Amino acid sequence: MSIKRKKRVLVGMSGGVDSSVTAALLKKRGYEVIGITMQMLPKETEHQSACCNIGSINDAKRVASKLNIPHYTINIRDTFQKNVISNFVNTYLSGSTPNPCVECNRHIKFDELLKKAEELDADYIATGHYSKITYSPKTKQYRLCKAKDDHKDQSYFLYMMSSNQLSKTLFPLGKYHKSEVRKMAEQFNLLNANKPDSQEICFVTSKSYTTFIDKYLSPSNRKPGLIKNLNGQVLGKHTGIHQFTVGQRKGLGIDSNFPLYVLKINAQNHDVVVGDKEDLPVLKFSISKFSLIDQNEDVLHKSFDLKIRYQMTPIKATITAICSDKATVSLVDKTPLIAPGQSAVFYEKDRIIGGGIIEKPPL
């Protein structure tokens, strides 16, 4: 009589409390757990980062030792530099606003983990993300849904996952509140039970992202420009468009008797256009890198809830055209301050449909 092998799961362990509890829960549930920590940051900055640093790697190793599970560290610095850090810098220099967490999930946390899972003959990968995965017998597709904890829900950053990827992924924390996860960490006697959550972009070790980008700029890339109103009147000067994002109000460096917001950023002539936030309301815009979790789902001309920023109340929108990985989005109500480079994510109640990157200044 053959002995049935335990299901093997590869857990991405950052050294934080969420991924540590994920590993502990899965082991408790009977999985064969292997911890994986990815070295992503450049060597010269990994000591300075608020997360993903040497200390975090050591924390992950110590948690793995406590749980009596194997732990491996893999070097993916080159992949992270190309797909996350360089993308972050270049997006700002093009006049858009990047979302590095989305690109990290797209290229690093799931692509690289799934590759490693194949190498180690693992059945699943798992992370400490706050989201739920369900299965629809009707469509025979896996679905991504919001977490129980609204304040910690991370489904917005995971919209690019496919049903196939979800079929090989576990998100054990999706049905818990953060307070419950902290309590479980204490019950498991994990050394990082009270470790603070990281609030920073992991690779930005300076006080601001503009200072970080400045280090990447050659003299030829340092292009000053003008700050204008919608009538073309010059209100001030700036030293680089990477210092601005659509919707920004503070730090414009100009005096005004009423609030001014960044309305547009022109990468061609380096102008930054400011005005009242209601001056450029949007009814339609385009997105690129468009993907659906269920690639067979018919989404054209249907009404969805839409988020164009992580922390926002959804607005109503319709996908009116799809061409390859591009789509056109129409809004029910005019909406100001839509930032190119950010993610547009579609929801049907608690289920994530898919999304894409706001491609250019709204049409």
CATH 2.40.30.10, the chain: domain bounds = 282-358
Mean pLDDT (the chain) is 92
By percentage, how much of the chain surpasses pLDDT 70?
A: 95
Distances from the Cα of 229 to the Cα of 233, 250, 256, 274, angstroms: 6, 16, 11, 5
Q: What pLDDT is attached to residue 362?
A: 52
For residues 325-331, give the mean pLDDT: 96
For residues 32-50, give the mean pLDDT: 80
Compute, in degrees rounded to 10, the torsion defined by CA atoms 144, 34, 117, 56: 70
Digit-coded pLDDT (tens) for 140-174: 999 999 999 999 999 999 999 999 999 999 999 99
Using 50, 70 and 90 to split pLDDT, how confident is the model at 50?
low
Task: Assess whether pLDDT exceeds 80 at residue 202.
Answer: yes
Q: What pLDDT is attached to residue 302?
A: 97
323 is catalytic: no
Q: What is the largest CA-CA distance in the chain?
A: 83
**pTM, to two decimals:** 0.93
Q: Which amino acid is at 247?
A: G
For residues 212-226, give the mean pLDDT: 86
Task: Assess whether pLDDT exceeds 60 at residue 1.
Answer: no
CATH 2.30.30.280, the chain: domain bounds = 223-275
Task: Assess whether pLDDT exceeds 60 at residue 363.
Answer: no
Q: According to CATH, what is the number of the domain 8-129+171-187?
A: 3.40.50.620
CATH number for domain 282-358, candidates 2.40.30.10, 3.30.1310.10, 3.40.50.300, 1.20.1580.10: 2.40.30.10
Task: Assess whether pLDDT exceeds 60 at residue 309.
Answer: yes
Q: What pLDDT is attached to residue 204?
A: 85
Digit-coded pLDDT (tens) for 273-300: 999 989 988 999 999 999 999 999 999 9
For residues 44-62, give the mean pLDDT: 74
101 is catalytic: no
Cβ proximity of 346 and 327 under 8 Å: no
Task: Assess whether pLDDT exceeds 60 at residue 313.
Answer: yes
Q: What pLDDT is attached to residue 49?
A: 58
Digit-coded pLDDT (tens) for 247-265: 999 989 898 888 999 999 9
Structure tokens at 58: 């050591």
CATH 3.40.50.620, the chain: domain bounds = 8-129+171-187
Q: Three-state SS across the chain?
A: CCCCCCCEEEEECCCCHHHHHHHHHHHHCCCEEEEEEEECCCCCCCCCCCCCCHHHHHHHHHHHHHHCCCEEEEECHHHHHHHHHHHHHHHHHCCCCCCHHHHHHHHHHCHHHHHHHHHCCCCEEECCCCEEEEEECCCCEEEEEECCCCCCCCHHHHCCCCHHHHHCEECHHHHCCHHHHHHHHHHCCCCCCCCCCCCCCCCCCCCCHHHHHHCCCCHHHCCCEEEECCCCCEEEEECCHHHCCCCCCCCCCCCCCCCCEEEEEECCCCEEEEECCCCCCEEEEEEEEEEECCCCCCCECCEEEEECCCCCCCEEEEEEEEECCEEEEEEEEEECCCCCCCEEEEEECCEEEEEEEECCCCC
Q: What pLDDT is attached to residue 252?
A: 93
Catalytic residue among 51, 101, 145, 202, which?
Answer: 202
Q: What pLDDT is attached to residue 42?
A: 80
Q: What pLDDT is attached to residue 52?
A: 62
Digit-coded pLDDT (tens) for 230-239: 999 999 999 9
Using 50, 70 and 90 to split pLDDT, how confident is the model at 24?
very high
Catalytic residue among 51, 104, 145, 323, which?
Answer: 104
- Say how far apart CA 165 and CA 177 lie, in whole Å: 24
Distances from the Cα of 90 to the Cα of 40, 57, 87, 216, angstroms: 19, 28, 5, 10
Q: According to CATH, what is the number of the domain 223-275?
A: 2.30.30.280
For residues 307-335, give the mean pLDDT: 96
Q: Which of 2-11, 91-100, 288-297 has the lowest mean pLDDT?
A: 2-11
